[in-house]
Structure formats: C-alpha cells, structure tokens
Chain A
Amino acid sequence: MSDEHMSNDTHAYAIELKGISKRFGSVQANKDINLQVPAGTVHGIIGENGAGKSTLMSIIYGFYEADTGSIEVDGQSLTIRNSQDAIRAGIGMVHQHFMLVDTFTVLENIILGAEGGALLKDGVAGARKELKRLEQEFNLEVDVDAVVGDLPVGLQQRVEILKALYRGARILILDEPTGVLTPQEADHLFRILHALKEQGVTVMLITHKLREILASTDNVSVMRQGQMVAHRVTKETSKEELAELMVGKKVRLKVDKDVPKIGETVLKASDLTFVDGQGVERLKRVSLELRAGEIVGIAGVSGNGQSELLNVLSGITPMSAGEIQFAGRTITASAPCNAAQMRELKMAHVPEDRHKMGLVTGFEAYEAAILGYHDRPDYNGSILMNRKAMLAECEERMAAWDVRPPNPHLKTANFSGGNQQKIVIAREVEQNPDVLLIGQPTRGVDIGAIENIHEQIVKLRDAGKAILLVSVELDEIMALSDRIMVMFDGAVVGEVSGAEANEQTLGLMMANAWNEEGAAV
C-alpha cells in the first residue's frame, strides 16, 4: 500500500512552508520560516522552549493564521484558516496537552467532529470497524469503551494518534510527545511512529530533546528565537552540533563536579505517609536521609508522590504518619511544623511550580524576592516595610545571579522562565539554609540558564548543604545527583548511586518493572 502511495505521489514534499511570519504584539514568534518536509519521512523540529516551534505547528494546524507566507501541502498551495481546513488537507496533530474530553469514552473522543451523521448511532458502528482496522494496521491497541480520564497518559496519547488517523491524516504532527512518558512508553511511541512511516505517513516531531531527534528522525530542522537556523540530515549530524545550533554557543551537556565530601546526616525522615482529602494514600512509608554535601535526586514519572514528598518535608501539608528529624526536633503528625517554622529551622524550598507556589506573578521582582522571608527584621521598619533595603538587596542578587533584565521593578510575570527561576532560587539560597528542597529546577528554562542553575546547585553542595532534587528530567537527575531514589505510586521503589545510574535501570524502576536480577519484569 505504501509503495502504491509513493508512486502515485509526484510531489516530493508533504509540507512546504514559504516565508511564514507570525507576530504576537511585540513578540516575533516566527520570522520568515522556510521548511520542506519530504513525504513519508520523520522530520524533527528542534529548538529551545520559546523558539517558536509550537507556534509554527499551530499555524500549520490552523490554530493561528500566519501574518505572511504560504503553506503547500502535497504540492498544492492552501489557506488553512482553522483546524477543519487542516484536517481536510490530511493534517493531524497530537498536542502537547492532550485535546481530549476526560469524561468521554475513547470512542466518543475519536468520533467528536467526525460523527458521521446527526445521530450518534449512525456513525458508531462504522467507527468501531474502522478503529479496529487502524489499531491492527498501526499496532495501536486501546479499549475503545474505556473512559479517557481513567487511562494512563501513554494510552491517552495513543487515543490522540488514533483520532488523527481516523480523520484520514497523512501528515501527523506531534508536539513534545514524550514530556509525560516514561522512557519505555516513549520507546513504544517511537515504534508506533516507525510503523506510521512504513505506511507512508509523514511525521513531524517537535521536541527539545536531542536524544529523541537522533533516535527517530530522518531529517531535522533547528529553530532558534523564532527563526529556522539549520536543516540537517539526521545521520550526518551529532548531539553536539544540534545543541550548538539550538543555543547558538557551545554548551556542556555534562555538569562538572567533584567527588562529594559527604558530612553528617542533616535530615532524617522515616515512614512518611500522606493521605489526601479523598482518602488516597499519596505517600507510602517513604524514608530518606539527607546528608551535608550531597545531592539526593528523586526520579519518577510526574504524579507518583514527588510533589507530596516535597510538600510534606517543607511543612506545606501536614503528614498523616511518620516522622522527620531535623535541626534537633522530631516532627510528627501530632507535633507538626508548618512551612514558616521549617524555614526558621533553615530549610529552604524551591517549589516545583514557580507560577503557582514560587512567585506572585503580579508582584515586582523585589517583592517576589522576599516572599516567605518578609517578616525578617532587615526588610521591616517599625511600621512600614523597608523598601530601600529590599531594593538594594534585590539589585545585588540580580547582579550575582545574572538575572535579566536586572530591574527590580519589573513584574515577575514579565521575566522569562529561566530568570523567574533564578529569582526563586536566589531567594531561597541566599538565606543560607542547611537543607534545600528543589523541585523541577529547570522546567521551562532554556539551555543557557539550565547550565547556570546546575552550576549553582553543585556549588551549594560543595558548600556543605544537603540538597533534595526532584525532577522529571532523567538527564538532570543523572547529571546532578550523588544518590538517586526512584518513586512510583507514592513509594520509593529503588535507590542507586549517581555513578552507577543509567537510563535503562531508572526507566524500568520508574515504571515499577525492575527486579534485582536486572531484568524487566
């Protein structure tokens, strides 16, 4: 079937973009983009967060209209005004945040917009048959009568792919598809993509992960600051070259660090348990020790208790059972210690979500820079706050941490992700804590700033702090941690030393499919 498709296809390019530009207010999201995607290939688009990849894909899928430029699909010039035009042109898209109705069944989600008649029963039987065929052809098994909200994310993504194929997509765009997947689920996804390619489907893979590009694409295009900066044949390029093209300067993918000088135990948690309002046990008898001069990494697919662990340790949510020994105190469910008191005991916390918990985005930088420490005498006069001292300190920190722009009066919402994160980390670190809890330090932060933040974390370790690092980025956990614990379903399911860790082992542990013999279960 694929051969026939190829021979009938006289057009070499499934998609050709010519001079696409798009501006949002003062931000030039896409600037004069040219792109050619050969039919029947897997084409990678790589770039940092904010490089304009998603905007470009949204233009192809009709979510936005380009200010200038033209789109050709299979050699024909098209105007794509909305998603319906894109679907009609044979373009399907799997969005980064799934476009699914959680309360609907898989079948209902798939037929939405392509119901095949005014009454549902007219289309349903045909849809079932067609889905069965697609499932077999592309190896995409999923229970069509399951409620989507009950499915794991890997399966939800499969539903999205099926949805596109059901609409007859010959060109499939995937926007950051592996962000929420375990390495094994990601591998499965790449096998699916391979099968799609075999059947003649053109795949466009948008990602900021170099490994995925190298492992699964035929060609790759690199975006930087809204522009297309390079096109490469994947086989002829390398991780280093792509990274350099993305960032525009040499970057190190490894963090330099010495052997840790491990001191005594600073914090000891035993059997921490947390039961949420719905009675679900989110944290199951988690025990850990944090020692001075050591980074302990917590790996896991997001939503397996890492957030709850950070919240319980930092005193934000009271534990249900267990105890924490810290700074000469024993903290238990009946003798709790709230977040402010924990801070008094010299524990600092960089929350996972800087927008929800780390910052008040409407505050100016100098105000955000003292949140949680606002009662300190240095910031307060007898009645009013000491604005002068706050501003002076903020300026000093902005210089030390290279926050750009170094303007203490700018609203925190207007800084880039990396600079927001620096404001939060600086705030916590400058209080000279004994223990630093740090969640997703580089989520939504671009590569240049990631490097800077990683260096700072290692520097803190070398200064004898005990650090607990929670991250869903395995690369980050492996690059920084001296010891790695893996969480699954609220419990710690494995622990390895940082030197011994590899992606395979951690990935299997994250999926709770690891046994001591070292084989997948």
Chain B
Amino acid sequence: MFETIILILDATLRVSTPLILAALAGLFSERSGIVDIGLEGKMLAGAFAAAAAAAVFGSAWIGLMFAILASVALALVHGFACITHRGDHIVSGVAINTIVAGLTVTLGLDWFDLGGQTPALSGDGRFTSITLPFADALADVPVMGLIYSELISGHNILVYLAFAFVPATYWVVYKTRFGLRLRAVGENPHAVDTAGISVAFVRYRAVIICGILCGLAGAYLSTAHNAGFLKDMSAGKGYMALAALIFGKWRPVPVLLACLLFGFLDAVAVRMQGVALPGIGEIPVQAIEVLPYVLTVLLLAGFIGKAVGPKAIGKPYVKERA
C-alpha cells in the first residue's frame, strides 16, 4: 500500500511538471496583463521543435534550445498582436493554438514522413533520469529510504527545474524591481506609464519569459516524458495550466499546489485504468480525467471564493487619460 502511494506520488511529480512550467509561464504573462490562452499552442510548438531538433542533432539540449526559440517566437507574435497592435488577447491566443496544431503535423509529415510523428528518440536525444547521491544505498532504509530513492531521486533535470522555478518565480515577482513593475503593469498600466516606465517593454519581457517557460514545458513532453513528438501531444495541458493559474489566484505557491492536485488526479486516473472497485465496478478513465476540470469549476464557483485576477488583464493599454 505504502509503495503504491509512493508510486502514485512519483507519477504525480512527472505529470505535474509540464503543468507547473506552463502555469508559471502564464503567471508571468497574465500578471503583466496579457491573457494567454496560447499556452497550449506554445507548449505543443516547443514539443515539436524539441523532438525534431533532438532527432536531427541527437542532443536533448539542442532540442530544448529549439523548443525555447519556437515558443518565444510565438510569444512574440502574441505580444506583437496584443501589445503593439492592441488586439484581442483571446483571438490571438486561439489563432496561435490552431496554427500550431496544424503546422506541427504538416511539418512533421514533410520532414520525417512518419505520419506526423518525429523519429523515436533514444540516448542523448532524451533527458534521462538523474539518480541523486546515495539513492541506491539508501533504498533499503524503511520509509525515508523509499521516499528518497523513489520519490525524490530518479527524475530528469526538467522536473527539478520546474520545482526550482516556483521559489524563483516568487522571488522575481515579489522581491525584484522587475516584479514590482510586472505586477503594477497588470493592475494599472497608466500608473506605470506616468511613473516613466514603458508599459510595452515590461509586457514584452513578460511574454518572452512566458515563451521560455512554455518551451521548457514542451521539451519536457517530447524529449523527457515521452521519446518523440506525437500529434496533439499537449492534449489540453495548456488549458489545464490556465485553470491551475486561476485556481491558484495568480500566486506562485498556490499555483504549484493546484498543479500538483491536477497532476495527482491524473496519476490516479492512470493507476485506476482497468481497476475494478468493489461494489462500483470499473470506473471509466474519462470520469477521472475530467475531475480536474470539474474541480476547478466547483471550487471557483463556490468554495474558494472569487478569483480576482490582475485588474487590467486583457485590456489593451491605450495612452489616454482615463
């Protein structure tokens, strides 16, 4: 039983990783006032770029670089539409998602001729598990040994990075000059402008950070969690990250907890596959997979109160007296 729990928690960490990265990406963007429904598309583009580059160059790190480049490029398109041209954030985000969904498959077919997939990755083409010091030696120690060797050790570098980004994000957002300006620009861009700071510059930096983090999330999907790109492999994780962002009220630590909760439900869903519960029978996987979404709606609807986002979110900044 204890081992089962550890295994589910272990899986939770793996499944949560892309959610955490994407949700933190969204946090930077939305704290600056730019709604980002395009997390999904950027993640998918990152996944494709990472797998394609890793297949060609045989290095997961080069793949990661390309993932970040692709994702940042899309983030800049979103920024150009929303910041420079004051376009509608949702329309731009949806456009990015739609284009990426089609483009990845099309390019995949053209480049690799594998039905839209990229070649299976192996060796240096993937991020492999890191065994932390003494993990093997301590594996036999009761309880703590298992927690250390199974749960904490044995993940790839991107998992550790994702978790490290949570305190880092907290620090940037709340303790630095950039963070202060980031929060201000999402609440009242007029105040930022009259303080002599460029609203557009702060927002562009925010969407670039968002792009970098989405690229990491994408690379994780195709070169760490899986061994290659599959059509639509982001499978709604971008939207789930967005839900976690709202659920966590745009704050790093609550967002992490929301991602872990969603990841946990996902891990349980996988575990429950084909398992018949006494008296109930086999639970359809879909019923559990839908839980994160139902939970978000229910909790937001009543239990945790209204999620009040940054006040100026989604509103283009027009230099005009209010």
- Chain A interfacial positions (CB closer than 8 Å to B): 54, 58, 61, 63, 82-84, 86-87, 93, 95-97, 99-104, 108-109, 111-115, 117-121, 123, 163
**CB of B120 to closest CB in A, whole Å:** 44
Asked if residues B191 and A100 are in contact (CB atoms below 8 Å), the reply is yes
How would residues 294 to 313 of chain B score, 1 for a CB under 8 Å from any chain A CB and 0 otherwise? Answer: 00000000000000000100
**CB of B206 to closest CB in A, whole Å:** 16
Interface residues of A: mostly helix, strand, loop or mixed?
loop
**CB of A28 to closest CB in B, whole Å:** 17
CB nearest to B187 among chain A residues: A101
CA distance A245 to B197 in the complex (A): 39
B286 lies within 8 A of chain A by Cβ: no
**CB of B154 to closest CB in A, whole Å:** 36
CA distance A43 to B192 in the complex (A): 27
CA distance A508 to B261 in the complex (A): 55
Asked if residues B180 and A82 are in contact (CB atoms below 8 Å), the reply is no
Q: Which of A63, A86, A87, A119 contacts B177 (CB 8 A)?
A: A119
Q: A54-B321, A58-B321 are in contact. Are A104 and B195 (CB under 8 A)?
A: no
User: Sorted from nearest, which 9 A-B pairs have the closest CB atoms?
Assistant: A113-B195, A84-B196, A99-B191, A115-B177, A99-B194, A97-B322, A83-B196, A101-B187, A101-B188
Q: A63-B319, A97-B321, A99-B190 are in contact. Are A113 and B183 (CB under 8 A)?
A: no
Return chain A residues, CB-CB under 8 Å to B175: 119-121
Q: Which of B192, B198, B321 contacts A112 (CB 8 A)?
A: B192
**CB of A91 to closest CB in B, whole Å:** 11
Return chain B residues, CB-CB under 8 Å to A82: 196, 198
**CB of A504 to closest CB in B, whole Å:** 33
CA distance A113 to B191 in the complex (A): 10
Asked if residues A117 and B177 are in contact (CB atoms below 8 Å), the reply is yes
Interface residues of B: mostly helix, strand, loop or mixed?
helix
CA distance A95 to B311 in the complex (A): 19
How would residues 153 to 184 of chain B score, 1 for a CB under 8 Å from any chain A CB and 0 otherwise? Answer: 00000000000000000000001111111011
CA distance A87 to B196 in the complex (A): 7
Q: A63-B319, A112-B180, A115-B177 are in contact. Are A99 and B195 (CB under 8 A)?
A: yes
Asked if residues B188 and A63 are in contact (CB atoms below 8 Å), the reply is no
**CB of B282 to closest CB in A, whole Å:** 45
Q: Which of B176, B184, B194, B321 contacts A83 (CB 8 A)?
A: B194
Q: A117-B177, A120-B176 are in contact. Are A83 and B193 (CB under 8 A)?
A: yes
Asked if residues A95 and B183 are in contact (CB atoms below 8 Å), the reply is no
Asked if residues A118 and B194 are in contact (CB atoms below 8 Å), the reply is no
**CB of B321 to closest CB in A, whole Å:** 6
Would you list which residues of chain B between 185 and 209 have a CB under 8 Å from chain A? 187-188, 190-198
Q: A54-B321, A118-B177 are in contact. Are A113 and B197 (CB under 8 A)?
A: yes
**CB of A101 to closest CB in B, whole Å:** 5
CB nearest to A54 among chain B residues: B321
Asked if residues B195 and A120 are in contact (CB atoms below 8 Å), the reply is no
- Give me 23 A-to-B residue pairs in the complex whose CB atoms sit less than 8 angstroms apart, sorted by A's number: A63-B193, A63-B321, A83-B193, A95-B321, A99-B191, A99-B193, A99-B195, A100-B188, A101-B183, A102-B188, A104-B183, A104-B184, A111-B180, A112-B181, A112-B191, A112-B195, A113-B192, A114-B195, A115-B177, A119-B175, A119-B177, A120-B179, A121-B175
**CB of B260 to closest CB in A, whole Å:** 26
CA distance A121 to B174 in the complex (A): 11
Q: A84-B196, A104-B183, A113-B197 are in contact. Are A120 and B191 (CB under 8 A)?
A: no
CA distance A83 to B195 in the complex (A): 7
Return chain B residues, CB-CB under 8 Å to A100: 188, 191
Asked if residues A108 and B180 are in contact (CB atoms below 8 Å), the reply is yes
Asked if residues B177 and A61 are in contact (CB atoms below 8 Å), the reply is no
CB nearest to B312 among chain A residues: A101
CA distance A58 to B196 in the complex (A): 13
CA distance A82 to B176 in the complex (A): 24
Q: A99-B195, A113-B196 are in contact. Are A104 and B187 (CB under 8 A)?
A: yes
CA distance A366 to B311 in the complex (A): 37
CA distance A112 to B190 in the complex (A): 12
